[in-house]
Structure 1
Amino acid sequence: MRAGRAADLLADLTQPPTRRTCLTHVEERPAREGRRGFFPEWADPRLVAHLAERGITAPWIHQQEAAELAHGGTHVVLATATASGKSLGYLLPVLTAIGARELEPEARRATALYLSPTKALAADQLTNITTMADGAGLRDARIAVYDGDTPTEQRRWVRRHGTVVLTNPDMLHFGILPGHEQWASFFRALRYVVIDECHSYRGVFGSHVAMVMRRLRRIAAHYRADPTFILASATTANPELSASRLIGQDVTPVVEDGSPRAGLTIGLWEPGTRTRVDGRGPGRSDDAGPEGEADPAGAGAGSGPDAAKATDDGAPAGVDAGDGEGGATSGSGATSEEPLRRSATSEAGAILADLVERDVQTLVFARSRRGAELVSGSARRLLEQKAEHAFAPELADRAKRVAAYRGGYLARERRALEDSLRSGELKALASTNALELGIDIAGLDAVVVAGWPGTRASLWQQFGRAGRRQDRDGGALALFVAREDPLDTYVVHHPETVFGAEVEAAVFDPANPYVMTPHLCAAASELAIRDGEESIFGPTARDLLTTLAARGVLRSRPTGWYWTMTESAHELTDLRGSGGEPVRIVEEASGTLLGTVDAASAHTQVHDGAVYLHQGMSYVVNHLDVERAVAFVHREDPLHSTHPQTTSTIRIRQVDREVAWSGGVQLCFGTVDVTDQVTGYQVRDVFTQTVLAQHPLDLPPRTLTTKAVWWVIPQERTDAAEIPGEELPGALHAAEHAAISMLPLLATCDRWDIGGVSAAQHEDTGEPTIFVYDGAPGGAGFAERGAEDAHAWLRATADMIAECPCEAGCPACVVSPKCGNGNEPLSKAQAERLLEILHP
């Protein structure tokens, strides 16, 4: 790119009158020279020669340090920036060990297991590792992917002959550890375990993976192997603590980044107000609606049993919800005359079209599956319109080179998109966070992040997809486009929350009994758990084993615990907490399988009558067969969107911690039962978001036992603050929404990972109460993190509400996109008074 290209692009994007006030902050990150180390003496000379042929005459200092530690048998976590070349840090010792017998016949055989959180990353690394091994002429490096897409006939070859096996935690859990006898020769020679992008293992998923790692260590020990773990991570706080918790052993960190860095221009962008479209009022809200993909747990719980008594903003485990923007602000107090901001999704689509028009290869990260589809579709339409009006056929051609990428696509679709992106055939891609991790996308000039991705770590990881080529003279461009959401709005007006703050540490709890229990069963079915051996799983494992034996799930013998059931123990858990068998989405007329959605998301995404998007095409659900896990759909382009409604109740099961707050307020943390049920859905006009109809649904309730933080506020305190009794539910509800939206500043979560309930008189406390809970069985550590730093959490919440210029509440402060009550009732003014009680 020519000098100043990123700055020129930013100037072009802000040129239209409707965008001149959108840019709230620009941050320039200058280019940085790299610092070289040297190749260790033990490194395979063939590898060193091959790397020299590729222009790599010496490793960066962090690559050398990590390789030296791993070669010496020290577990290591390499936590440096995106595109810093972490892969060489682990490939140098791995490939050297695997090729050792070719140089020294007496050397022992070595194998390595590579784990990634996504199939896309494993496929990308397969190409990278194969290229390096083949280039160096390492005959013993037989590299293969072993995942759900691997053909049956190929799996046998991998088990027998693979020396570098790339897989994911799910396949390790379901497909490798249960049949470890078939992998005996591989495990006997296991020298290294590489865990790539380990910062992504957080929440309940991280807890599950931590248990899988302990089971892996146990199986390796059974075959007398003691592998060294090498973990690669984006920059995080205290990476050694998270890595140690993940594998259950001490880990040494390498954090000094010696790689060069291309210049990066970062802009924070707040969309302007909408214009009228075809005389129909505010422009179409392309991202309104709950159909989507918040890759963590998500959304859409509804009103309590009495809307005047209990209100909520729920997040049952695994629900897959979209960003839900669009000005559907029923109950917010906002009048129809108030200007509505353009949605982040439609804004990102317009920005993407402008960048593609300027021949800028761009990746857009959307917050949902629906958002990714709509960004790509919007960009294509705009480019086609410009091509027609300006008689520019080249724009029509570029429109065909814009696509979407998300979970739920079939494997062949994902692979084709990944290949087209690498080859440059695709000019732009709108993706969920499925492409956030690791994949090397050469030549990427710009990244647009549409909506807060959940954590600062994820934001920087996504920004890091831009500027990967070091020869980019003018630097690359990264834009964060804010949704009409409290946290997004707060970030674009407080840039210090991004540029002046440390990234978060991964939060997960391996001791979660809801996670550990099924993994103890799985471990016992793999190998009987001998007496004393259970300590590898943690100090509470023995009590849980005793309980399982008392229930007849395990059989206790003097030598240990045995699995005796006929069912598969590995089917007892789902690592990603999706809640059961994925629901297949089938076009009823043709029988074509379009994709899948996780079980817990099905009730909100593919209920009867739901509008579902796939590859830019709309489908309407004819029927959701809950028992058969199939949603039958037909092709249709309706001018409406669908929005599920739910009811929710919360009961306190156990108080683990209680702290006296100011003025008699109690801050509590403990275990709760949350029961949610999708009771119906609204049909809304896609242009105005006007409610056109409401339909009931008969779906079974779901109960979630999880961890929560809650405040119990004495009624006399709210009376003394002169909060009218009739406005108290609205004050509690608004404060609950705001607190949920701001917790991601402290914990590695986003608002779709957590839920909330508020009640003017909760049945268990007898007082006004606000709950915020983890949207995962047994908890994920997010509510606990909020309880530990409640003062900072409440201060940010109070500041955010006070700084919002609206009078009665809006999506940028207290209106929630996932409120099952339709944001009724809400009282922004009284919420400010209530927060003064909680945080004087």
Structure 2
Amino acid sequence: MTTGELLDVLLAGGRRADRATHVRHLPAREARHAPWPAWADRDVVTGYRASGVLEPWTHQVEAADAVWAGRHTVLATSTGSGKSMAFWLPALSAVRASAAARTLDPGRIESVGRRASVLYLSPTKALAADQLAALERLLSSAGLRDVRVAQCDGDTSRDERRWVAEHADVVLTNPDFLHHALLPQHQRWARLLGNLRYIVLDECHAFRGVFGAHVALVLRRLRRLAAAYGAEPVVVLASATTADPAASAARMIGVTPDDVLAVTDDGSPAGRKTFVLWQPPELPGRDDPWAQLVPDDDPWSTPGEPADRPRRTATAEVADLLADLVAAGARCLAFTRSRRGAESVAAATRAHLVEIDPSLATSVQAYRGGYLPEERRALEQAIRTGWLRALATTNALELGVDISGLDAVLIAGWPGTRVSLWQQAGRAGRAGADGLVAFVAREDPLDTYLAHHPEAALDAPVEATTFDPANPYVLAPHLCAAAAERPVRADELSLFGDGALDVLDRLTAQGILRRRTSGWYWTHEEPAARLTDLRGAGGSPVRVVESGTGRLLGTVDAPSADATVHAGAVYVHQGTTFVVDELHLADAVALATRRDVDYGTWADWVTSTEVVDVHDERAWGPVTWHVGTVDVTTKVIGFQRKRIPDLRVLGREELDLPARTLRTSAVWWTAPPAVLAEAGITLEALPGALHAAEHASIGLLPLLATCDRWDLGGLSTALHADTGEPTVFVHDAHPGGAGFAERGFDLGATWLAATRDAIAACPCATGCPACVQSPKCGNANNPLDKAAALRLLEVVVHHADSAETGTGTDAGADTSASTSTSTSTSTGT
């Protein structure tokens, strides 16, 4: 289908034209080719040619040449631009060259065991499996049987791991396996580490925030051990287009930016792409049951009562659009913001298709994390071959799994960063074909803003990948793990950053490590790798098991288990509903029974925030702005049953689950009585004003920091025990923090001014999801007072501007009085 035909389906022949706030036609790009490098192995080149690659693109050759020359390299080009060739061409050539050297002169002692090895790391097992399949196809096309490749991860048996450690030339795995298995048992992997020629880090833009910091430190530990075994591997990074890729890559590896070559000039072809910004329509009433299909978007969502003229949810709108595109013959992906959203869009799309053409209903499925590996592989193969026409997916398919030939991509809600937006959009029209992309806005201040400001969504530069390996909460357990693998010497500290010595001294003082003249030692019996979880999941995944059969249905992250698989929760798996009978947190198991129900479940919880330490503060006249460390404690207290699709509350039950405490970074500001009086805020209006300001500021911080709303949490209270004043907190939703709060602190005046402007620009009368309601509020978006929040922020921003221009009022204004009520509200974590 042409993009014009696809756009006509989307607009329903003009009947939905008013929902398209902007249509952008992105021009096609011609391919630029380069000759095969002279050093490239001829058989490998033959394999590529047999696969249809007659000549590589310019960026592939530029990167491959640098890698072959021994230069750390990051390749940051568009989705579908063939980045994998840039690392497989030199990697396979090196393996074959070393194998040939051993064959030609087997008697030389220095050639014994010197068969080059390659370690490929990806953020997901699915991507590693996809790369393995592509690599095996390439070797088969080349007729090569002397290159031994294998995937090795937590699902690999002990016997298979032994074979991989002893024989494999190319090992495809993930940072988690390195951290928990390979590095702690490095003696078993001595052959691989001693011969390590290349380390490949694929889709490295996915390693951001706290997860990125963990992966950066795992890489440092890997390079340290490889050096101990006599290897100095070259690191190759493949990334989506990001800002300053050389700096991000250098921070990931632990070198200077001058040591990394960034290849960013994309020589691959690109078809014409039509990009549509889309806002669902306002609802005239409750007569559209699918309009309340599911809150946008996560399992912690608790929607409030509809505000003035609420709009149809993005998930419901995307289900309609997806059904129409599939019925017209298009192959599509619909990206959603949560597992619940993926299941709901798939189910609603199938329901629509039953009315159009029942034979099409089975051609749409959901794809998300938590599925079993064999289920994911089957779905990937089905969408590749065309047996499935569409998948409703989480960002699990954003990364480099090869799915070509798609006509359209629908994106339900801002994916968090422009990097992710273009990665998801790149799935449409791959391999130089035309494609259609539609970003469908949720009722969220950021989404609403972007739907009406195409320059912010489509013209602004992509973000840099942010992470901080020096974060002491992340660095400390990795130093322990490094010491357990091999005592940490003083001359190795530069690899771990300037703060490593202070952290080591603190660990030594606490008795966690032992200092000797030869270095720092781990002397405990338990494995040091267990001190940290790379993905911040806070424990082992909870397995969801069918009670009657013992069949494993899937998994849920430990922090989400309280809210999603508690006793009585409805668990949806590929459209089939189960009701959880029991949740055993100690055993990480939830037992569920297959049951057809007409309702879903939504958890309720309470949150409190305690200030642990203040790192910095700033006075804006009477307003005080802080950044520091806080403890955020969350407890699920019950859940509601809501009928689907109209979400009418059917009942509520209490739950008795343990509290969870997160120590993280936060930014907060206080508003003393003088500020409240200036803004005309009464004690009665205060909780709603603070709560609304908190929600809106969380929604706008992603414009300034490389994060999305789900990376953040917050709390507002009319009297906080630690500040003694009305206070609004916004905190990172990651252990130890991820740098987002610090970014908010540095740009405080800009951030709060943008928040004020977003509230003021919203046409609703009393507040709605597009301005002050939050999709993840733990208090059912109550209380909220839009007008009071706007007045309060107006005063706060005025004082901030005055302080920064030097025209501020007396910073010593009387703040001794305090309010007599204490009402806390929270968006959760």
State whether residues 327 and 356 of structure 2, in contact with CA within 8 Å, keep that contact through their aligned partners in structure 1. Answer: no
Is 1:244 the counterpart of 2:203? The answer is: no
State whether residues 335 and 392 of structure 2, in contact with CA within 8 Å, keep that contact through their aligned partners in structure 1. Answer: yes
Q: 2:342 aligns with which of 340, 351, 372?
A: 372
Aligned-pair distance for 1:164?
0.9
Q: 2:394 aligns with which of 432, 445, 448?
A: 432
CA gap of 1:18–1:468, structure 2 versus 1, over 3 A, is: same
Residues 439-448 or 148-157, more deviating: 148-157
Which residue is equivalent to 1:508? 467
In the alignment, residue 380 of structure 1 is paired with which amino acid?
R
In the alignment, residue 293 of structure 2 is paired with which amino acid?
D
Aligned-pair distance for 1:199?
0.5
Q: How many residues align?
A: 786
The higher-RCO structure (CA 8 Å, 6+ apart) is 1
CA gap of 1:725–1:275, structure 2 versus 1, over 3 A, is: closer
Aligned-pair distance for 1:274?
4.0
Q: 1:422 aligns with which of 374, 384, 395?
A: 384
Is 1:116 the counterpart of 2:122? The answer is: yes
Aligned-pair distance for 1:289?
8.1
State whether residues 290 and 605 of structure 1, in contact with CA within 8 Å, keep that contact through their aligned partners in structure 2. Answer: no
Q: 1:210 aligns with which of 213, 216, 233?
A: 216
State whether residues 140 and 163 of structure 1, in contact with CA within 8 Å, keep that contact through their aligned partners in structure 2. Answer: no
Aligned-pair distance for 1:276?
6.3
Q: 1:648 aligns with which of 582, 599, 607?
A: 607
Q: Measure the CA separation in 2 of the matches of 1:66 and 1:692.
A: 59
Aligned-pair distance for 1:275?
6.6
In the alignment, residue 572 of structure 1 is paired with which amino acid?
L
Which residue is equivalent to 2:712? 754
State whether residues 761 and 768 of structure 1, in contact with CA within 8 Å, keep that contact through their aligned partners in structure 2. Answer: yes
- Describe how 1:116-515 pairs up with structure 2 within 5 A: 116-250=122-256, 251-274=260-283, 283=290, 285-288=292-295, 292=299, 300=300, 328-330=303-305, 334=307, 338-387=308-357, 396-470=358-432, 472=433, 475-515=434-474
Residues 204-213 or 641-650, more deviating: 641-650
Which residue is equivalent to 1:808? 766
Q: After superposition, what is the alpha-carbon deviation per residue over 1:549-589, rounded to whole angstroms, capped at 9, x for unaligned?
A: 33332232221122222212112211100001211112222
Q: Measure the CA separation in 2 of the matches of 1:385 and 1:658.
A: 60
State whether residues 571 and 580 of structure 2, in contact with CA within 8 Å, keep that contact through their aligned partners in structure 1. Answer: yes
Q: Measure the CA separation in 2 of the matches of 1:289 and 1:438.
A: 26
Is 1:674 the counterpart of 2:622? The answer is: no
Partner SS for 1:729: helix
Q: Measure the CA separation in 2 of the matches of 1:667 and 1:138.
A: 63
Partner SS for 2:578: strand
Q: Measure the CA separation in 2 of the matches of 1:111 and 1:88.
A: 17
Which residue is equivalent to 1:607? 566
State whether residues 666 and 741 of structure 2, in contact with CA within 8 Å, keep that contact through their aligned partners in structure 1. Answer: yes
In the alignment, residue 757 of structure 1 is paired with which amino acid?
L
Which residue is equivalent to 2:93? 96
Q: After superposition, what is the alpha-carbon deviation per residue over 1:603-635, rounded to whole angstroms, capped at 9, x for unaligned?
A: 111122222211111222222122222212222
In the alignment, residue 329 of structure 1 is paired with which amino acid?
G
Residues 646-655 or 534-543, more deviating: 534-543
Residues 543-552 or 810-819, more deviating: 543-552
State whether residues 199 and 506 of structure 1, in contact with CA within 8 Å, keep that contact through their aligned partners in structure 2. Answer: yes
CA RMSD in angstroms, aligned pairs only: 2.0
Q: Measure the CA separation in 1 of the matches of 2:4 and 2:386.
A: 23
In the alignment, residue 196 of structure 1 is paired with which amino acid?
D
State whether residues 667 and 731 of structure 2, in contact with CA within 8 Å, keep that contact through their aligned partners in structure 1. Answer: yes
CA gap of 1:792–1:153, structure 2 versus 1, over 3 A, is: same
Partner SS for 1:642: strand
- Describe how 1:691-840 pairs up with structure 2 within 5 A: 691-840=649-798
Aligned-pair distance for 1:17?
7.3
Q: Measure the CA separation in 2 of the matches of 1:643 and 1:16.
A: 38
State whether residues 50 and 142 of structure 2, in contact with CA within 8 Å, keep that contact through their aligned partners in structure 1. Answer: no
In the alignment, residue 319 of structure 2 is paired with which amino acid?
G
CA gap of 1:111–1:648, structure 2 versus 1, over 3 A, is: same
Aligned-pair distance for 1:482?
1.2
Which residue is equivalent to 2:556? 597
CA gap of 1:90–1:708, structure 2 versus 1, over 3 A, is: same
Aligned-pair distance for 1:651?
1.7
Aligned-pair distance for 1:660?
2.8
Partner SS for 1:172: helix
State whether residues 329 and 810 of structure 1, in contact with CA within 8 Å, keep that contact through their aligned partners in structure 2. Answer: no
Partner SS for 2:684: helix
Q: Measure the CA separation in 1 of the matches of 2:671 and 2:404.
A: 55
State whether residues 290 and 316 of structure 2, in contact with CA within 8 Å, keep that contact through their aligned partners in structure 1. Answer: no
State whether residues 116 and 196 of structure 1, in contact with CA within 8 Å, keep that contact through their aligned partners in structure 2. Answer: yes
Which residue is equivalent to 2:527? 568
In the alignment, residue 704 of structure 2 is paired with which amino acid?
L
Q: Measure the CA separation in 2 of the matches of 1:252 and 1:726.
A: 59
Which residue is equivalent to 1:296? none
In the alignment, residue 6 of structure 1 is paired with which amino acid?
T
Unpaired segments ≥5 residues, structure 1: 293-299, 301-321, 388-395
Q: Measure the CA separation in 2 of the matches of 1:289 and 1:686.
A: 15
Q: Measure the CA separation in 2 of the matches of 1:21 and 1:482.
A: 14
Aligned-pair distance for 1:641?
2.5
Residues 576-585 or 341-350, more deviating: 341-350
State whether residues 291 and 605 of structure 1, in contact with CA within 8 Å, keep that contact through their aligned partners in structure 2. Answer: no
Q: Measure the CA separation in 1 of the matches of 2:14 and 2:3.
A: 20
Q: Measure the CA separation in 1 of the matches of 2:360 and 2:497.
A: 55
Q: After superposition, what is the alpha-carbon deviation per residue over 1:124-156, rounded to whole angstroms, capped at 9, x for unaligned?
A: 111222222333344432111111233333222
State whether residues 586 and 592 of structure 1, in contact with CA within 8 Å, keep that contact through their aligned partners in structure 2. Answer: yes
Aligned-pair distance for 1:536?
1.7
Using the size of structure 1 for normalisation, the TM-score is 0.90
Residues 154-163 or 183-192, more deviating: 154-163
Partner SS for 2:12: coil
In the alignment, residue 314 of structure 2 is paired with which amino acid?
A
Q: Measure the CA separation in 2 of the matches of 1:234 and 1:289.
A: 26
State whether residues 274 and 283 of structure 1, in contact with CA within 8 Å, keep that contact through their aligned partners in structure 2. Answer: no
Q: Measure the CA separation in 2 of the matches of 1:137 and 1:689.
A: 58
In the alignment, residue 164 of structure 1 is paired with which amino acid?
V
Q: 1:550 aligns with which of 484, 498, 509?
A: 509
Aligned-pair distance for 1:55?
4.5
Is 1:587 the counterpart of 2:546? The answer is: yes
State whether residues 284 and 686 of structure 1, in contact with CA within 8 Å, keep that contact through their aligned partners in structure 2. Answer: no
Q: Which runs of 4+ in 1 moved over 6 A?
A: none
